[in-house]
């Protein structure tokens, strides 16, 4: 570990009625690094993400953002501290417009939410900022539709646009291309590539697709049955017998 | 949402639903503004004043259920706190504006504290448990109001006098003979002053609520209604926002209670605290359209007119159809609740998002 870690998972674990969904996972992440988390279904990847972004509270271990312990913070406090999370199942504000979805994220980051006696429509810089994130996510043309009216691929893009609008230090993507068509997925990957260019950012990505992993990963972490079983450079991790077994297994499922 | 639709600027049909809603609300506002001159009889005055107060009460409930998705059964409790505070002070300390300010202020403060307590203790739990907690609190308050009869007058309630300025015997502008000057044949007496006190206070409170729903906070409330978990994940402290809006709505309801108490010169469980009122405002918001504000206006007018005038209308109908078998029986004024019920079912069936909600949705779809 050359530089100080931007995010640390220390002996992190959670049990659901005796079943250890995440079991003593220790791992440190660094700015400028994109880490892909792989593992078969049920390995605990999403649960681990939920522990880090605060949707679940761990039964063991600590989470550090830089030097600051955030283990007991609420999800909103973690979001303000710089942890941004995109979700595996599309998780938007369905009856609000695409623009309003992103505007809400901008408004939250700028701390304008509690303002009571100013007209929201008068804060045009929020709208302008929101539009710029939508343009980046190639959603400018559908800004005025309700989020629920978008096709699945566009909803995934909106999910990424929301994350961009939060301007976090830690970007967490949970299968951002899941269920997307082949011609749509590259837009998302391009966006993630863009995010990665800024070396002050730390990117965590759960992904199954082999080509995605090869194209983006600086480092691969493998989870299996809730435990961290491998961690290293992509070329090294891919070679491991255990990884080939569990990971190529899921890879084959993906193809089918 | 509306902002975004307007920005498209593409040629499209006139927003008929929107025009219809704003037109109706405009007419209602004009009718209420000139109510003492348009409908000078005593009963119409009662109806107009009740409409003013209930628009505030229903709209503040809409802040909770329509905008934020909070189901509360304690809204009339806050209304009652404002009303009883005012009533007890007027009874104990005499008919003065100081009594109204002190008693009403105490009622509003009690509503605020209680709302903050209920909110912080239980807005973390699931919606259904929160609804139960509010139901329990409201029941306790009803029992207290009837048990502490020394202060509250129990089931009979309290009758009291109000400041002289609001008495029908007071001339606002006296002519040479010392009688109240008449305008359009209506004497400008204290009753008029009282009506405009109720009207302008209600208007101001409604304007405040319109401002709130158009503010950044209003946007957050909608986000919480749509997806609580994601609102939290992008950085909004959901419990805090929920508690805040619960307190705001409680304070506004208590202020409406003050108006009700001053207008009626009577406060009792029936008019300020009962679950009948709770059900009324729930129906009003559902019929008018949740999360629209204007729905509260139209819903209150419909409900109030129906409950005051449906019987009269039916009596007329029964007379007119006297020669036809069965119909006069069906139209007998005693069966007015039956027809009110039929009306509700039809409204909910044809306007699933409420009158205002459905009309505006239609525009949004036509605009695409």
Question: For position B1, what pLDDT does the model report?
Answer: 39
Residue A243 Cα, gap to closest chain B Cα (Å): 32
| A218 or B7: which leads in pLDDT | A218
ipTM, two decimals, is 0.87
Contact B207, B293 (CB under 8 A): no
Distance separating alpha carbons of residues B359 and B361, to the nearest angstrom: 6
Q: Report, as ranges of residue numbers, the positions in chain B whose pLDDT lies below 50.
A: 1-11, 368
* Residue A38 belongs to a domain: yes
Is there a domain that residue A33 lies in? yes
Q: How far apart are CA B150 and CA A21, in angstroms?
A: 61
For position B142, which CATH number holds? 1.10.3470
pLDDT of residue B135: 93
Residue (of B22, B85, B132, B27) closest to B254 by Cα position: B85
Q: Of A151, A177, A199, at which residue does a domain stop? A: A151
CB proximity A252 to B under 8 Å: no
For A102, which residue in chain B has the nearest alpha carbon? B234
> A63 and A17, same structural domain?
yes
pLDDT of residue A17: 85
Domain containing residue A60: CATH number = 3.40.50.300
Whether B273 contacts B79, CB under 8 Å: yes
Claim to verify: residue A26 and residue A67 sit in the same structural domain: yes
For residue A100, the distance in angstroms to the closest alpha carbon of chain B comes to 7
| Tokens 């504006």 sit on residue | B97
**Domain ranges, residue A48:** 7-82+168-255
Within 8 A of B233 by CB-CB distance, chain A residues are 53, 55, 75-76, 79, 85, 87, 91
A189 falls within a domain = yes
* Nearest CA-CA distance, residue B204 and chain A, Å: 14
The number of folded domains in chain B is 1
A172 and A67 in a single domain? The answer is yes
pLDDT(A246) > 90: no
Structure-token pair, residue B47: 């109806």
First-last CA distance in chain B: 13
Query: What local confidence, expressed as pLDDT, does residue B6 receive?
Result: 43
Residue A72 lies in a domain: yes
Domain count, chain A: 2
Indicate whether A246 and A120 sit together in one domain.
no
Task: Indicate if A48 and A67 belong to the same structural domain.
Answer: yes
pLDDT at position A251 is 45
A111 and A228, same structural domain? Answer: no
Same domain, yes or no: A78 and A174: yes
In this structure, the strands spanning A202-206 and A219-224 are unpaired
Distance from CA of B30 to the nearest CA of A (A): 26
The reply to whether A251 and A174 lie within a common domain is: yes
**Looking at the complex, does the CB of residue A92 fall below 8 Å from at least one CB of chain B?**
yes
pLDDT given at position B188:
81
Residue pointed to by tokens 């108490």: B261
Q: Which residues contact A100 (CB under 8 A, 6 or more apart)?
A: A93, B1, B4, B219
Arithmetic mean of pLDDT, A184-204: 88
Residue B235: closest CA among A211, A213, A75: A75
Please tell me the distance from the alpha carbon of residue B353 to that of residue A219, in angstroms, as a whole number: 51
Distance, in Å, from the CA atom of B128 to the CA atom of B136, rounded to the nearest integer, reads 12
Range of the domain at B74: 2-367
Asked if residue A223 belongs to a domain, the reply is yes
Distance CA A65, CA A70 (A): 7
CA–CA separation, A57 and A15 (whole Å): 10
- A183 and A59 both lie in a single domain: yes
The full DSSP string for B35-52 is HHHHS-SHHHHHHHHHHH
A196 falls within a domain: yes
**Is A173 in the same domain as A216?**
yes
Q: Write out chain B residues lying below 8 Å of A121, CB-based.
A: 3, 214
**Looking at the partner chain, which of B1, B217, B233 has a beta carbon nearest the beta carbon of A116?**
B217
Q: Does B219 touch chain A (CB under 8 A)?
A: yes
Q: What is the pLDDT of residues A53-107, one digit of tens each?
A: 999 999 999 999 988 999 999 999 999 999 999 988 778 999 999 999 999 999 9
Give yes or no for A100 touching B (CB within 8 A): yes
Residues 188-217 of B with CB under 8 A from A: 211-212, 214-217
What is the predicted pLDDT for the residue at A43? 86
Q: pLDDT of B76-132, one tens digit each?
A: 999 999 999 999 999 999 889 999 999 999 999 999 999 999 988 877 777 888 999
Residues B259 and B198 sit within 8 Å (Cβ to Cβ): yes
């Amino acid at each position: 570990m050359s530089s100080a870690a931007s995010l640390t998972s220390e002996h992190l674990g959670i049990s659901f009625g005796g079943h250890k969904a995440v079991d003593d996972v220790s791992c440190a992440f660094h700015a400028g690094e994109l880490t892909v988390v792989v593992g078969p279904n049920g390995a605990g990847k999403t649960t681990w993400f939920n522990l880090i972004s605060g949707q679940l509270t761990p039964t063991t271990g600590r989470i550090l953002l830089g030097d600051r312990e955030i283990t007991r913070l609420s999800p909103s406090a973690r979001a303000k501290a710089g942890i941004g999370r995109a979700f595996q199942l599309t998780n938007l504000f369905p009856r609000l417009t695409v623009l309003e979805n992103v505007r809400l994220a901008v408004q939250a980051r700028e701390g304008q939410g509690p303002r009571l006696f100013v007209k929201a429509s008068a804060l045009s810089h929020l709208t302008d900022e929101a539009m710029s994130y939508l343009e980046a996510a190639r959603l400018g043309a559908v800004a005025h539709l309700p989020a629920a009216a978008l096709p699945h691929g566009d909803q995934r893009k909106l999910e990424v646009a929301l994350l961009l609008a939060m301007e976090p230090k830690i970007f967490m993507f949970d299968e951002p291309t899941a269920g997307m068509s082949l011609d749509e997925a590259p837009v998302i990957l391009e966006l993630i590539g863009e995010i990665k260019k800024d070396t002050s950012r730390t990117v965590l990505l759960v992904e199954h697709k082999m080509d995605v992993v090869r194209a983006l990963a600086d480092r691969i972490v493998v989870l299996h049955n809730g435990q961290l079983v491998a961690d290293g450079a992509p070329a090294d991790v891919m070679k491991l017998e255990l990884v080939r077994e569990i990971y190529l297994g899921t890879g084959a499922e993906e193809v089918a | 949402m509306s902002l975004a639709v307007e920005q498209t600027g593409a040629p499209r049909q006139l927003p008929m639903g929107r025009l219809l809603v704003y037109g109706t609300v405009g007419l209602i506002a004009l009718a209420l503004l000139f109510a003492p001159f348009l409908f000078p009889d005593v009963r119409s005055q009662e109806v107009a004043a009740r409409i003013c107060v209930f628009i505030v009460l229903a709209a503040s409930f809409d802040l909770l259920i329509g905008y934020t998705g909070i189901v509360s059964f304690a809204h009339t409790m806050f209304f009652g706190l404002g009303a009883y505070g005012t009533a007890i002070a007027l009874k104990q300390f005499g008919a003065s504006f100081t009594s109204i300010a002190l008693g009403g202020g105490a009622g509003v403060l009690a509503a605020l504290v209680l709302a903050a307590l209920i909110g912080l203790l239980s807005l973390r739990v699931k919606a259904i448990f929160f609804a139960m907690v509010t139901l329990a609190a409201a029941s306790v308050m009803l029992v207290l109001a009837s048990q502490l009869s020394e202060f509250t007058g129990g089931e009979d309630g309290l009758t009291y006098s109000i400041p002289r300025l609001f008495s029908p015997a007071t001339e606002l502008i006296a002519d040479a003979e010392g009688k109240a000057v008449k305008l359009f044949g209506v004497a400008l007496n204290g009753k008029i002053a009282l009506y405009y006190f109720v009207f302008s206070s209600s208007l101001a409170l409604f304007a405040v609520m319109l401002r709130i729903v158009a503010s950044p906070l209003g946007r957050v409330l909608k986000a919480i209604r749509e997806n609580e978990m994601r609102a939290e994940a992008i950085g909004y402290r959901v419990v805090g926002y929920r508690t805040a809006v619960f307190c705001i709505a409680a304070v506004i309801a208590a202020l409406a209670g003050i108006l009700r108490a001053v207008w009626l010169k009577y406060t009792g469980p029936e008019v300020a605290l009962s679950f009948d009122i709770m059900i009324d405002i729930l129906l009003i918001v559902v019929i008018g359209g949740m999360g629209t504000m204007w729905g509260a206006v139209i819903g209150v007018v419909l409900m109030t007119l129906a409950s005051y005038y449906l019987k009269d209308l039916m009596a007329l109908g029964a007379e007119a159809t006297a020669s036809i078998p069965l119909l006069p029986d069906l139209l007998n004024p005693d069966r007015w609740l039956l027809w009110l019920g039929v009306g509700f079912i039809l409204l909910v069936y044809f306007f699933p998002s409420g009158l205002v909600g459905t009309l505006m949705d239609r525009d949004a779809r036509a605009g695409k």
